[in-house]
Amino acid sequence: MLNSIVADLAIIKERDPAARGTLEILLCYPGFHALVLHRCSHWLWGLRLAPMPLLARVLSQLGRLLTGVEIHPGARIGQGVFIDHGMGVVIGETAVIGDHCLLYQGVTLGGTGKAHGQRHPTLQTNVVVGAGAKVLGAITVGTNTRIGAGSVVLRDVEPNSTVVGIPGRVIHQSGVRIDPLAHSALPDAEARVIRNLMERIDVLEGELVRTQACLRELAAGRPLFETCRGESQNLKDREILEFLGESPGITG
């Protein structure tokens, strides 16, 4: 436990240019205080015997009262983690935070739903979660990933990515900018559905041009050599309806 506390102290010195000395960190960094209390409550939580888990919860709530950072005693937090500013951070029971992660104020590592078992996120090493970002569900955020301030991340994120927005979208991966509509690098289902809709619009426009040509031929009294095919009717319907949460069977 002492090693973890020393590592937490060292990382603040390394990462925060405003930190001028050990005494200042010991006295003025609520994120550091919250982590020290969490390391104690996590140890109590691990003892499992009554009334230790209850004591652990009480200690965790005391930490919340003093620092504004709520960390469930069950959360597993690596070494050299820095919670900057702290206020409003919430870390759930089954959350896992790897070494050298950086969390800003207002971050939530939360669950979705009421299921038991793993329901909170896992942050691998060296992940940065921007101010106010929400990372929800039993997802994994890969090593060296940066999550933008205010983002809401609901899906697994590959290592070395930058994610922004609601829902979170990958904008950079391994230093390369991702075009959300690029066919080879689609980041999520939403972008895939947008691409499908764009393909559908392309086909519909083609149909319209052909129909106008047919009408011109008819108006001129000439026979038609091409019939309107109507092939756009069911194009990609399944993927779009599945994304909307509707049964593909209900369309004709």
Ligand X SMILES: CC(C)(COP(=O)(O)OP(=O)(O)OC[C@H]1O[C@@H](n2cnc3c(N)ncnc32)[C@H](O)[C@@H]1OP(=O)(O)O)[C@@H](O)C(=O)NCCC(=O)NCCS
Binding site for ligand X (CB under 6 A): 85, 104, 130-131, 146, 148-151, 162, 164-165, 171
Shortest spacing between CB 132 and ligand X, in angstroms: 7
Shortest spacing between CB 182 and ligand X, in angstroms: 14
Distance CA 110, CA 93 (A): 9
SS3 of 148-190: the string is: CCCCEECCCECCCEEEECCCCEEEEECCEECCCCCHHHCCCHH
Cis previous bond, 53, omega within 30: no
Shortest spacing between CB 166 and ligand X, in angstroms: 8
Distance CA 10, CA 32 (A): 11
Nearer to ligand X, 74 or 148 (CB): 148
Distance CA 219, CA 178 (A): 49
Distance CA 153, CA 141 (A): 9
Shortest spacing between CB 109 and ligand X, in angstroms: 15
Shortest spacing between CB 250 and ligand X, in angstroms: 36
Shortest spacing between CB 169 and ligand X, in angstroms: 9
Question: Would you state the structure tokens that stand for residue 22, as one six-digit string?
Answer: 């050990």
Distance CA 30, CA 66 (A): 8
Nearer to ligand X, 95 or 103 (CB): 103
Strand, coil or helix: what is 110? Answer: strand
Exposed / middle / buried, residue 207 (Cβ in 10 Å: 0-12, 13-18, 19+): middle
Which string of DSSP letters, residue by residue, matches 60-76? HHHHHHHHS-EE-TT-E
SS3 of 180-220: the string is: CCCHHHCCCHHHHHHHHHHHHHHHHHHHHHHHHHHHHHHHC
Nearer to ligand X, 101 or 164 (CB): 164
Q: Are 120 and 94 in contact (CB under 8 A)?
A: yes
Nearer to ligand X, 137 or 165 (CB): 165
Nearer to ligand X, 156 or 205 (CB): 156
Nearer to ligand X, 131 or 214 (CB): 131
Nearer to ligand X, 88 or 137 (CB): 88
Shortest spacing between CB 190 and ligand X, in angstroms: 15
